[in-house]
Amino acid sequence: MKQITRDNREWFQEWANEYDNTLGKVKRHHKLLDLVVRESGVKRNDLVLDIGCGTGLLSLKFLDKADCSVTAIDSSAQMLEIFREKIEKCNLNGKIHCIQISAEDMVFEPGQFDIVAATVALHHVKYKEPVIKNIYNCLKDGGRFVLGEMDIDTTGKPDDPQRLVRILQYLIREYELAMKDGGVQAFERMYDNGKKHILNDGEYCIGMGQWEKLCRDAGFKNAEVSPVKGFEWFKVLVATK
């Protein structure tokens, strides 16, 4: 079978301009982000790292909730450009600092952040273990890693029919919600992304149990998982250092 490999960045550059009109319109996505912010317990003066910030939907919700400061990283220049326009427009230059860098390459001082958060970004990272270890290191003692992700294990061979059926069960619901909330444009984008899940082309999802294990192996003391109400495929994990 032909192996499809495309630079993640290229794909997100292309998606950036319509991100807020596609996934950004889907209510269950906002429910996930709201749950992440709520579970993070963010408070005044906290230093927050948002990994794979995209157009800034999560970072802005953190700032809505508390007078914190956010460092936001993403590998896509185009996503960050859109986010920077919002920062400028909302006069938030002193509160948000954006850096174009991949999660795999980020270097921060040990013990720098109160909260590290990532929503539907880290499943794009193929080799997750070193990234989770890096997240652990850059958190303060007692700091929290808050992960909002799909709870579906898509590892395995792309030509395994049982795996295909399992992924399609998730995608049916995903497509239904995209069409309902974002119309044809959102559906079309999620439909294209669905093929990437099936072919393991830039989408490398694992189950919440697997994320939990990665966190414990990295040294986190405990990890608690909460479901997004009404959409069982999405969960929020809070791991404490």
- Residues in contact with ligand SAM by CB under 6 A are 8, 12, 33, 52-54, 57-58, 74-76, 79, 102-104, 119-121, 124-125
- State the nearest-atom distance from the C-beta of 12 to ligand SAM, in Å: 3
- State the nearest-atom distance from the C-beta of 98 to ligand SAM, in Å: 11
- In the bound state with ligand SAM, the residue whose beta carbon lies nearer, of 80 and 142, is 80
Distance CA 209, CA 120 (A): 16
- In the bound state with ligand SAM, the residue whose beta carbon lies nearer, of 53 and 115, is 53
The token duo for 189 is: 């984008």
- Enumerate long-range contacts of 68-71, CB under 8 Å, 24 or more apart: 68/42, 68/43, 68/44, 68/95, 68/114, 68/115, 69/45, 69/95, 69/96, 69/97, 70/95, 70/96, 70/97, 71/47, 71/96, 71/97, 71/99, 71/108, 71/113
- In the bound state with ligand SAM, the residue whose beta carbon lies nearer, of 40 and 75, is 75
Distance CA 8, CA 196 (A): 11
- State the nearest-atom distance from the C-beta of 100 to ligand SAM, in Å: 9
- State the nearest-atom distance from the C-beta of 53 to ligand SAM, in Å: 6
Instruction: Check: CB of residue 143 under 8 Å from CB of residue 116.
Output: yes
- In the bound state with ligand SAM, the residue whose beta carbon lies nearer, of 19 and 220, is 19
- In the bound state with ligand SAM, the residue whose beta carbon lies nearer, of 12 and 220, is 12
- Residue with CB nearest ligand SAM? 54
- State the nearest-atom distance from the C-beta of 17 to ligand SAM, in Å: 12
Distance CA 96, CA 116 (A): 14
